[in-house]
Amino acid sequence: MKEITNRKKKTMTKKRKLSTSNPLTNNVFIFHNARFGIDLFVNAIGAKDAMQKFDDCQFETRDNWKIMMELPNQPSGGPNGS
């Protein structure tokens, strides 16, 4: 007969949810220029505020820029967190 062992399941801890809908949440937005490899980091309260700050810089050729948002929790060591 095979002996059955009781293995403890690995559980992930609950992570803080990113609040993109709260208008008072201050987030870091990253504007990446694909042509020149330049990253512009902007602290803003929501996407509209980030885009306004970017427009205030008056960069040429807006098509060269992509917008990203920094997440508060970054992956660490793969899907199992190891």
Query: Would you list the domain boundaries of the chain?
Result: 26-69
pLDDT number for residue 5: 63
Q: Please give the pLDDT value at position 53.
A: 93
Closest Cα to residue 44, out of 57, 26, 32, 70? 26
pTM summary value: 0.56
Give the pLDDT of the chain (82 residues) as one tens digit per residue. 556 666 655 554 544 455 555 556 688 899 999 999 999 999 999 888 999 999 999 988 888 999 888 776 766 766 665 5
